[in-house]
Chains A and B, each alone.
Chain A
């Protein structure tokens, strides 16, 4: 620590990140200085272009420079294969979310106005809208990108907060059912902050153990130090709480149904896809890079968590009556399936590429299907807003066969029926787990297969509630005053179309997507 050394920043590698954050900042400035009537027409193109631009930059990065092999920004950010893949996925998914945000009617006219008050009515009639939503979304997306690519725990913590804080706010901005929305916001905020504190305390413990918070540094320290140090174990478990909270693993899942249900649907879509993808990226980094040496300690615990998550998600979803809440539990179950993949590690690290590829592929297909499903949810409306209650969906197949058919297809993909993308996602993860279980001399072998069996049983239970919705839509008579299906806006139509295309396309020809995932995973994480 002698003298001041100017940090080197690889701007080229970080360009997508910087573009998103930059656009977010400009968005804030627009809110401050642009006249109200102009804001939307500036914000929307700004957001879309920045996301598209960032995606283009990711492509350019891959196409031109290849994948960096060392961490960027003085070891703070790792722009490696998985990062770039996750970035690409997050950017496309959030683009979809922004397209849905762009739809009228999701967000409150004036968040400050008390629900049911004259203020609210006035704000609504004057056609006011919170265009802050766009920069907030961009900040959240930026946080996600950084979260998945962070190479030390501090950056990870900051990214976590940058991602979460805008989301806390966004959750509270629903136009209809504002009480629920605000409640979701409050709960998400309190619990999120609570879990961040755990994350932070765990980080402190690990810092105490390793003397550093950089992931490779921790790994290094573990290879020389004691693996039984309570500081390490305690720190790791508290860190795990924060991460598992974000992906919604049991028993840290309780926020998910409430928040998903209360939040405006485009935001739910963003959380269910983008946040999950980013958080999985972070989970992988922490568990595989930093704590790789602790394999045999965390795997039994993770086994229980994964099994519990799948079962809880699947079982609780059965009796849900709200479509978004049901999808929230479904998302919990899927987080459990992903955790199976997280556990599929090998003694020889280079073999992990297959497991990593499986997880990345799963994230890709699940993300697209999720965004598509939520986009469909936005289209089915009652006079009071979206028709959330499942009973309202009865007979939709007769009223609007195309939409119901598309939604049914998404549900089948969630259930993992062959010839949908979801099947291959699930297959990839299960295969990775079984494959890691068959490695010789691994005492966890049978356990891994056992976990896959648990996953399979959970899938079967989960299939029940997906099928239940299909039954409702197709086999029940429509209610007399059933919900209306609004004509989709251009944006929503594109989102649904693309999601369907990916779900079908990958379901029939998964190889191209697998190739990309394999390539992204081939170099594993930068250590």
Chain B
């Protein structure tokens, strides 16, 4: 029993209670408390992460408590490498988001006094944020599948309120769409979770004990489908993606970061851990259609992104494209691709997070999400433009920035995958590489329209980023560049965990074996 994870999960929720109970009118205090709590969680997590030994047991910091014996449900938590980096991603993003949304609930007015968003309850927003943090940690830490499901579904609610109460003009449509879509997937997964429990007949939901418990191929396929559809909606994969552009575009920038940066990762994380390891035969049987779907997502997301006129929607579609890469990597069944996919989850969180935030800052100066309403921002706000460009370049996976490493690994791993004999997935990798070109088009075209050219009349009065905003973006950019050149710390943690996955799926990768033997 290690107290680490329960403590990590308890601190934010206690913080949320404290924030919610603060007396009326103490908005500023609420913000400060939230920031403090999130920083404490971050520091605690990093201290914990340092103690993680990549070569040790698969699950570390394990804690178990018999929660609902009647259902065979345990409060079981523990992290492997992938879970650890995703938790780290979450807890790093939260303080950044807190700082980024410092004034979001205070109501937004443009310089000329137009109310863009009315004042909302600050305390509610920040306590929701902290509740969400607990759930984000919980969902990645859960080793009990039932517990995972609980967090998987429950985390919809705070996000739903964050979008619905604090978002843009179409917020309630977007929030409801988000909730119902995810809920529908989640409920299908619930059936599969129940089915898994009884089909395995082990009387437990503990993931390590359920690995390999289902042998019957037909059962595997049904259960796999239940899990996969839920995760595909969450990730999101074409054709069940349309909730994301709406949700991300309407959510306040901070919530959008957590939505796309962390919540959606639960989908790909779930595929990697649950779909593959619990139902290996089904996963192999479905590999080809899923990879095809992923490739479609990659290309289709990119093409549709090019055609967007709304900045946040555009970023959302780029994410759909990127999630395609992650899914492709997960199902390429090779260590390089899966490590790349797991790394991509983290990197995408930072890159898209930065892009959403900087776009949010830009939008908050003008009140319009439409690219056409801007132009020549670089002249009046060079720092903002600079951050925008760097974040955008991370979005197009420029080598030297973190997302490149992961995208490269995914594509190389897919190309070299032995899943369908030598070169069976090569075409998928080649087609997906076309996205490299498309990514340049969507990002640079946006940059050209929004930042370059003669300064638009409406943009002339823009202030450059203030200190708070720079403090928000700088760490993200530092991480993006840092992990771009030195991804080893993340990969060292991720790779052993991915190898566990592959062992459980019973896939061997000759290229790696050879390389590993050589060293």
Contacts and interface: CB of A to CB of B under 8 A. Distances in A.
A touches B in complex, CB < 8 A:
yes
Interface of A: 357, 401, 412, 415, 417-419, 423-424, 427-428, 430-431, 434-435, 438, 449, 452-453, 456-457, 459-460, 463-464, 467-468, 470-471, 474-476, 509-511, 514-515, 518
Nearest to B179: A467
Contacts of A427: 71, 190, 194
Contacts of A475: 164-165, 171-172, 175
Given A431-B197, A456-B188, A518-B70, A463 B149 contact: no
A453 B172 contact: no
Given A467-B176, A475-B171, A511 B70 contact: yes
Nearest to B167: A475
Interface string B390-430: 00000000000000000000000000000000000000000
B68 A514 contact: yes
Interface stretch (B153-161, B239-247, B277-285, B441-449): B153-161
A452 B201 CA distance: 19
A418 B150 contact: yes
A450 to B, nearest CB: 10
Given A412-B157, A434-B195, A475-B165, A510 B187 contact: no
A341 to B, nearest CB: 13
B198 interface: yes
29 contacts: A357-B70, A401-B121, A417-B153, A417-B157, A418-B153, A418-B154, A424-B68, A424-B71, A430-B194, A431-B71, A431-B197, A431-B198, A434-B195, A435-B194, A453-B191, A456-B187, A460-B180, A460-B184, A463-B183, A464-B176, A464-B180, A467-B179, A471-B164, A474-B161, A474-B165, A475-B171, A475-B172, A511-B70, A514-B68
Nearest to B166: A475
Interface of B: 67-71, 121, 124, 149-151, 153-154, 156-157, 160-161, 164-165, 171-172, 175-176, 179-180, 183-184, 187-188, 190-191, 194-195, 197-199
A438 B199 contact: yes
Contacts of A464: 176, 180
B249 to A, nearest CB: 16
A431 B180 contact: no
B431 to A, nearest CB: 34
A452 B191 contact: yes
Main secondary structure of the interface of A (DSSP, over half): helix
Nearest to B118: A477
Given A401-B124, A417-B157, 11 more contacts: A423-B153, A427-B194, A431-B194, A431-B197, A435-B194, A456-B188, A456-B190, A467-B176, A467-B180, A474-B161, A474-B165
A430 B190 contact: yes
A148 B70 CA distance: 25
A468 B187 CA distance: 19
Contacts of B188: 453, 456
The 3 closest A-B pairs by CB, nearest first: A475-B172, A456-B187, A418-B150
B70 A476 contact: no
Contact of B68 (A401, A467, A476, A510): A510
A474 B125 CA distance: 13
Nearest to B219: A438
A161 B322 CA distance: 64
A357 B187 CA distance: 22
A475 B163 CA distance: 10
Contact of B176 (A423, A460, A471, A510): A471
Contacts of A415: 183
B191 A430 contact: yes
A417 B183 CA distance: 9
Contacts of B197: 431
B157 A463 contact: no
B198 A438 contact: yes
A419 B199 contact: no
